Structure 1
Amino acid sequence: MNSTVELVNSIKLKIDKNDISILEKDSALEFIGAGRSAVVFKIQSTDKALKVFFPDCTSIAKEEAEIYEILKGNPYFPTLYEAGDNYLLIDYIEGYTLFECLTQGIPLTKSTISETDHALSLARKAGLNPSDIHLRNIILTPEGKIKLIDVARFRQTKDCRQWTDLKKVFFTFYSKSYFPKKFPVSVLNTVAYLYKKNIIHVASYKKSS
Structure 2
Amino acid sequence: MNDFTQIVVKPGKPVQVLLNPTPYPLIGKGLQGAVFKLSDDRCVKIYSKKIHCLREKQVLLQVGEKSTIIPAVYETGENYIIMEYLNGPSLQEYFEKSETISEALTREILNLIIEIKNLQFMRIDFSLRHTIFDKDGRLKIIDHVNSFRIPRSYPKRLFKDLKQLGLLTSFLEHVHKLNPECYEKWQKLLKRMG
Instruction: Give the secondary-structure state (helix, strand or coil) at the position aligned to 1:153.
Output: coil
Residues 1:152 and 2:172 are matched in the alignment? no
Matched pairs, number: 172
- Tell me how far 1:82 sits from its aligned partner: 1.2
AA of the residue aligned to 1:59: I
**d(CA) in 2 for partners of 1:109, 1:68:** 30
Give the AA of the match of 2:27: I
Aligned twin of 1:12: 8
Q: 1:98-117 maps to which residues of 2 (within 5 A)?
A: 98-105=91-98, 107-117=100-110
Corresponding residue number in structure 2 for 1:34: 29
Cα 1:102/1:116, change in 2 over 3 Å: closer
Correspondence for 1:89 among 67, 79, 82: 82
Given the superposition, is the C-alpha separation of residues 122 and 172 from structure 1 closer, same or farther in structure 2, using an over 3 Å criterion? same
| Corresponding residue of 1:123 | 116
Give the letter aligned to residue 88 of structure 2. G
Structure 2: tracts of 5 or more residues without a match: 174-188
Please state how far the C-alpha of 1:62 moved relative to its aligned partner. Answer: 0.5
2:60 aligned to which of 57, 64, 68: 68
How much does 1:123 deviate?
A: 3.1
How far is the alpha carbon of 1:26 from its aligned partner?
1.2
Greater mean alpha carbon deviation, residues 128-137 or residues 99-108: 99-108
Higher helix share: 2
**Code of the aligned partner of 2:114:** S
3-state SS of paired residue (2:25): strand
Q: Provide closer, same or farther for how the CA distance between residues 174 and 76 of structure 1 changes in structure 2, counting only shifts above 3 A.
A: closer
Cα distance, 1:15–1:63 mapped onto 2, change above 3 Å:
closer
Mapped pair 1:165 → 2:159: yes
**Is the contact between residue 90 and residue 131 of structure 2 (CA under 8 Å) also seen in structure 1?**
yes
Give the Cα–Cα distance (whole angstroms) in 1 for the partners of residues 15 and 118 of structure 2: 38
Shift of 1:20: 2.5
SS in 2 for 1:96: coil
- Which residue identity does 1:105 align to in structure 2? S
Between the aligned partners of 2:15 and 2:69, the Cα distance in structure 1 is 31
Deviation, structure 1 residue 143: 4.3
Instruction: Using structure 1 for the length normalisation, give the TM-score.
Output: 0.68
Q: Which residues of structure 1 form unaligned runs of 5+? A: 177-200, 205-209
| AA in 2 matched with 1:36 | L
